[in-house]
Amino acid sequence: MTRRILIIEDTPTIAKVQKHIAVSSGYAADIASSLAEATALISQNHYFCAVVDFILPDAPNGEAIPCAIEAEIPTIVMTGNLDSQTREIVEKYPIIDYITKENKQAYQYLKRQLQRLPRNESVQVLVVDDSRQTRRYVSGLLERHKYQVLEAGDGQEGLDVLQKHPDISVIITDNEMPIMSGVELCGEIRRLYSNDDKAIIGISGSHTSHLSARFLKNGANDYLRKPFNAEEFYCRLSQNVDMLDNIATIRLQANTDYLTKLPNRRYFFEQTTKALKLRAIQKQNSTLAMIDIDHFKSINDQYGHDAGDDVLSALALTFNKFFEHDLEARLGGEEFAIFFQQGSIEDNLNQLELFRQYLDSNSVSLTPHKIHFTISIGFVSMVEQKIDALLKAADVKLYDAKEQGRNRIIH
Ligand SMILES: Nc1nc2c(ncn2[C@@H]2O[C@H](COP(=O)(O)OP(=O)(O)OP(=O)(O)O)[C@@H](O)[C@H]2O)c(=O)[nH]1
């Protein structure tokens, strides 16, 4: 579903720039050039958020802000200048942010904010504080920016909530709490979860100057002293969520094959090495298939390298359909592997045979050049601790499949 944004702005060039930013960030956008137009649009549409100009011809004192807020539309205010009187009016309202239209930077900042809001809907934040009032205040700030919020009344409860909700990515914790202090909670979280997965922001009303250092030394990423300014809170929070996002992106890129978007060799080795060790200890078989496209060189030679790439991508998509519960990867070139996570040897072989037959019968419909292609498969199931050895055994079978005429499974 496309999210809709309302731009309330009377200068056409600025409205056009804002609309361009919104659309390039994935929104559908409506422009209102006056408060009257905005009121009419709000009565007809549901808006995910609004970008509101402070001064409009029929609303010279920021009257468009309460109009959006009362309609429960998360609001970003854009102003020409932010003197103390304007700031006072703006700060009265529970807005998402305000931006001064000073330079190009302001529009880049707006773009980042618009991109963060939909992202925040899937970010879980845990607020740990024994004061119900403070917890509610912090949760309210988070909800305004569309974060998913969970709460806990002390450190121990916080750990329990974390265990039940492993996708929580940010923990905001007070220090002075019964049972377990915020600093102790930080240490415990860092014993269980890495910095790459969860960010911690410590808060405290204490004036002890060492507390920020104690939080940081115990694994917190940031620290805020109460009472804190909402603007600073949002800036620090966004920075931490952005950092986690960047780490997740880098991790995904490092583990994914650029062409097929399947897991790559590196990821396959990492994951199977762990699984093989466990299975070998329990004397369980590990089951693996190596798959190679037949005569792939002649596909490249006949149709061109790009068409060859289409074949590789089409094969990857088909993998996902047939083996969604197993670990599949592109090992390199036109060579793929499947590490089976479930089912008996017979089940796995049957599924592979269905896959082989499906490609033989339907591969022409999978690529724009209507290329018919087949695959050869080497299959092994044995107690083995080393992935290299398992792959080598499967490769021997794959070689046999090629030798015996291709388009077949050898096990
Ligand atoms: N289009 C494309 N071709 C690739 C890619 N990676 C490797 N290749 C090509 O894959 C071909 C593999 O050829 P061979 O190893 O000779 O094997 P084959 O032609 O598939 O023959 P058999 O395996 O014996 O059936 C080579 O021509 C490589 O250039 C890629 O990412 N894209």
**pLDDT tens by residue, 158-192:** 999 999 999 999 999 999 999 899 999 999 999 99
Per-residue pLDDT, 80: 85
> What separation in Å is there between the alpha carbon of 323 and the centre of ligand 1?
23
Say how far apart CA 260 and CA 310 lie, in whole Å: 9
| Pocket of ligand 1 from Cβ distances under 6 Å | 259, 292-297, 300, 305, 308-309, 312, 333-334, 402, 406
Residue 201 CB-density burial (10 A; 0-12 exposed, 13-18 middle, 19+ buried): buried
Question: 239: Cβ–Cβ under 8 A, 6 or more apart, which residues?
Answer: 222
Per-residue pLDDT, 234: 94
pLDDT in tens, 201-250: 999 888 777 888 899 999 999 999 988 888 899 999 999 999 999 999 99
Distances (CA, A) of 187 to 155, 158, 204: 11, 13, 16
DSSP, collapsed to helix, strand or coil, labels residue 25 as coil
Q: Which of 111, 114, 115, 118 minimizes the C-alpha distance to 147?
A: 118
Q: What is the mean pLDDT of residues 333-343?
A: 94
Which residue's C-alpha comes closest to atom 8 of ligand 1? 333
> What separation in Å is there between the alpha carbon of 297 and the centre of ligand 1?
4
Per-residue pLDDT, 299: 96
Per-residue pLDDT, 102: 79
Closest ligand 1 atom, CA of 309?
1
Phi-psi domain of 405 (left: phi exceeds 0; alpha: psi -120 through 50; beta: other): left
Q: Which of 257, 258, 299, 300 to mutate to test the pocket of ligand 1 (most atoms within 8 A of CB)?
A: 300
Q: Which of 296, 400, 407 to mutate to test the pocket of ligand 1 (most atoms within 8 A of CB)?
A: 296
> What separation in Å is there between the alpha carbon of 294 and the centre of ligand 1?
9
Say how far apart CA 409 and CA 297 lie, in whole Å: 21
Closest ligand 1 atom, CA of 300?
1
Q: Which of 223, 145, 148, 152 minimizes the C-alpha distance to 183?
A: 223
Per-residue pLDDT, 207: 77
> What separation in Å is there between the alpha carbon of 254 and the centre of ligand 1?
23
Question: What is this structure's pTM?
Answer: 0.78
Which residue's C-alpha comes closest to atom 15 of ligand 1? 297
Are the C-beta atoms of 185 and 203 separated by less than 8 Å?
Answer: no
Which residue's C-alpha comes closest to atom 7 of ligand 1? 333
pLDDT band, residue 1 (cuts 50/70/90): confident
Note the Cα 20 to chain centre separation in Å.
Answer: 24
Q: Which domains does the chain have, with CATH numbers?
A: 3-118 (3.40.50.2300), 121-251 (3.40.50.2300), 265-410 (3.30.70.270)
**Which tokens belong to 259?**
């062409």
Give one DSSP letter per residue of 124-176, joined into a string. Answer: EEEEE-S-HHHHHHHHHHHHHTT-EEEEESSHHHHHHHHHH-TTEEEEEEESS
Q: Which of 321, 335, 339 minimizes the C-alpha distance to 267?
A: 339
> What separation in Å is there between the alpha carbon of 373 and the centre of ligand 1?
12
Per-residue pLDDT, 208: 78
pLDDT in tens, 73-106: 999 999 887 788 888 888 889 999 999 987 788 9
Which residue's C-alpha comes closest to atom 29 of ligand 1? 297
Q: Which residues, listed in sequence order, are joined to residue 376 by a DSSP beta bridge?
A: 292
pLDDT in tens, 275-315: 999 898 899 999 999 999 999 999 999 999 999 999 999 99
Q: Which residues, listed in sequence order, are joined to residue 30 by a DSSP beta bridge?
A: 6
DSSP, collapsed to helix, strand or coil, labels residue 207 as coil
Average pLDDT, the chain: 94
The position carrying tokens 């269905």 is 354
Say how far apart CA 311 and CA 198 lie, in whole Å: 39
